[in-house]
């Protein structure tokens, strides 16, 4: 049994040596190998062997990481105290620098972010601070990226989480925003009423125009109808006169017949309701014709009387 102790100790020592020599580097890590306290090389991901006792490996996480910057009270340009906090996103691009050029990167970048955040907000008034987050984020990110370049770190972005003014300022801002909302509501309501009245007036104007156009079109159509009626009547009367005139000429009436017709027409005129009758200028010639007709009639009667006794004898 006593002879087995040296063998057991040898196996334990061998297991320790093997465990000290074998290292596993994960895909998102890099291993910094130090030999006798001095940087030797950087180990890539995978199974790696180092010399036990004389070699040491420090693993560095290469993934993007985030640092929460604690809240701090900052004075703006117009002497308003606000409480601000932020987060910083970064990733390691050079594991050698991040291990050997800075003692504690998290503490260093936190202090650097707080200092530059005070500087950025100190140059802005309260309104600009509340409305210029993107501007502050971009400026702070650029400053931190330049400052951490010698540490082998790339600052990808900086985001301000919250900016809290004092309670009295918050209440005043709330009242101001409420007043602005009420003002905008009144303006919108007035604009709506104005637009409604304009639309109503435009509608009435358009209706009046359409009504006037309709009346004008109706009057035009009535006038065209009356014009057509008068033209048709005139053409009919002209055609009738033409026909009568042609019939008279074709019938070859005697002057005695014309005189009788003229007298019949005068009788019809005298039977009307007019209180005054204007006699035509040709009345003298008509009367002369009438006298000739009477004389001719008397001559005819006397001739018949003379022929009567002669027949009796």
Domain count, the chain: 4
Residues 71 and 93 in one domain: yes
Q: Tell whether the torsion through CA atoms of 157, 161, 164 and 170 is positive or negative.
A: positive
* Best CA proximity match to 58, nearest among 82, 13, 92, 8: 92
Range of the domain at 51: 11-61
Q: For residue 114, what pLDDT band results from cuts at 50, 70 and 90? A: very high
Residues 235 and 265 in one domain: no
| Predicted confidence (pLDDT) per residue in 22-54, tens digit | 888 999 999 999 999 899 999 999 988 888 888
Q: In CATH, what number is assigned to the domain containing residue 161?
A: 3.30.479.30
Residues 23 and 98 in one domain: no
What angle in degrees, to the nearest 10, is found between the helix axes of 105-122 and 133-147?
Answer: 140
Name, in order, each residue with C-beta under 8 angstroms of 130's C-beta and a sequence gap of 6 or more. Answer: 163, 165
| Predicted confidence (pLDDT) per residue in 230-247, tens digit | 888 888 888 887 787 677
Q: Which two tokens stand for residue 168?
A: 């009295």
Q: Quick one: average pLDDT of 124-142?
A: 89
Q: Is the pLDDT of residue 299 over 70?
A: no
Report if residue 1 sits inside a domain: no
Q: Look at residue 58 and give its three-state secondary structure.
A: strand
Q: For residue 2, what pLDDT band results from cuts at 50, 70 and 90? A: low
Report if residue 227 sits inside a domain: yes
Q: Is the pLDDT of residue 251 over 60?
A: yes
Give the span between the Cα atoms of 7 and 112, in whole angstroms: 57
Cβ pair 260, 236 in contact under 8 A: no
Report if residue 32 sits inside a domain: yes
Residues 161 and 77 in one domain: yes
Q: What is the pLDDT of residue 151?
A: 93
Q: What is the pLDDT of residue 292?
A: 60
Q: What is the pLDDT of residue 10?
A: 75
Q: Is the pLDDT of residue 312 over 50?
A: no
């Amino acid at each position: 049994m006593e002879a087995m102790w040296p063998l057991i100790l040898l196996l334990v020592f061998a297991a320790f040596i093997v465990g000290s020599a074998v290292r596993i580097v994960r895909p998102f890590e890099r291993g910094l190998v130090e030999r006798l306290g001095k940087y030797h090389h950087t180990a890539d991901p995978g199974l790696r062997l180092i010399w036990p006792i004389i070699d040491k490996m420090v693993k560095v996480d290469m993934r993007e990481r985030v640092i929460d910057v604690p809240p701090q009270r900052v004075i703006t340009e117009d002497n308003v105290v606000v409480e601000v906090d932020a987060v910083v996103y970064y990733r390691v691009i050079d594991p050698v620098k991040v291990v050997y050029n800075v003692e504690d990167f998290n503490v260093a970048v936190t202090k650097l972010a707080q200092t530059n955040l005070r500087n950025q907000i100190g140059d802005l008034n309260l309104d600009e601070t509340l409305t210029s987050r993107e501007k502050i984020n971009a400026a702070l990110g650029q400053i931190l990226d330049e400052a951490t370049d010698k540490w082998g770190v790339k600052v990808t972005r900086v985001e301000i989480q919250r900016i809290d003014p004092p309670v009295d300022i918050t209440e005043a801002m709330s009242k101001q925003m409420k007043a602005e909302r009420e003002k905008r509501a009144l303006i919108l309501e007035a604009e709506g009423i104005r637009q409604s009245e304009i639309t109503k007036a435009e509608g009435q104007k358009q209706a009046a125009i359409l009504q006037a156009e309709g009346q004008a079109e109706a009057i035009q159509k009535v006038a065209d109808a009356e014009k057509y009626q008068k033209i048709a009547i005139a053409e009919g009367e002209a055609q009738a006169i033409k026909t009568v005139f042609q019939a008279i000429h074709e019938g070859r009436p005697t002057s005695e017949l014309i005189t009788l017709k003229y007298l019949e027409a005068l009788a019809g005129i005298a039977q009307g309701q007019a209180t005054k009758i204007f006699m035509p200028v040709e009345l003298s010639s008509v009367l002369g014709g009438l006298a000739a007709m009477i004389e001719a009639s008397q001559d005819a009667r006397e001739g018949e009387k003379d022929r009567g006794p002669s027949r009796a004898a």
